[in-house]
A and B are shown apart, each in its own frame.
Chain A
Amino acid sequence: QSVLTQPPSVSGAPGQRVTISCTGSSSNLGTGYDVHWYQQLPGTAPKVLIYGNTNRPSGVPDRFSGSKSGTSASLAITGLQAEDEADYYCQSYDSSLSGWVFGGGTKLTVL
């Protein structure tokens, strides 16, 4: 059981908008710790997609956006493309565990 909770899967048709939630608690997101999002394409290492809740590294399309409020965060993907089919993970810090934690991951399927 992950400290950060994500839906196991989401899906959407090309061109649509999907969101992936990341739910934490008062010992992580609720305390104000930043959340970061990673995309893992099949057979590859994860890469950071969103850092510091809302920031995109250079090279990441603006179709990807992040938000955070209270004990929850979300990753939104607009204009879905086939190449977006991947696993997505949220990550933050947990004060109870005194360490970094990941969500369980969400598999995005582009229909």
Chain B
Amino acid sequence: QLQLQESGPGLVKPSETLSLTCTVSGGSISYYYWTWIRQPPGKGLEWIGYFYYSGNTNYNPSLKSRVTISIDTSKNQLSLKLTSVTAADTAIYYCARVVDTEGYYYRPWGQGTLVTVSS
């Protein structure tokens, strides 16, 4: 059974880079789409971007200039880097596998990790 676990600093200073890792267990990170999604406290979900095992990426246009998503197949990990963060980037960050049958949907999700941007 595929399981995902996000990890990384819970506090990041404004203007710095947010870096998170998603460790995949119970299956290989290869041959799938993988995505990051975030949720500001008390608000809705926002898609950040995806990485396809072939190396293709696609990012939310509103974040594209600041986001990089990559994978490390040797560690079975997905990573997210978001540069020049501000308080508006404070959110719970989720990683998820993308299922590409009957459209593209997310299953399973990690439990999420809260990142607060503050000095």
Contact = CB atoms under 8 A, between A and B. Distances in A.
Interface of A: 2, 33-36, 38, 44-48, 51-53, 55, 57, 89, 91-93, 97-105
Interface of B: 35, 44-47, 49-50, 58-61, 94, 99, 101-112
A101 B111 contact: no
A45 B111 contact: yes
A91 B110 contact: no
Contact of B107 (A35, A47, A101): A47
Contacts, number: 73
A99 B61 contact: yes
Given A97-B61, A98-B61, A99-B59, A52 B107 contact: no
B45 A46 contact: yes
A48 B58 contact: no
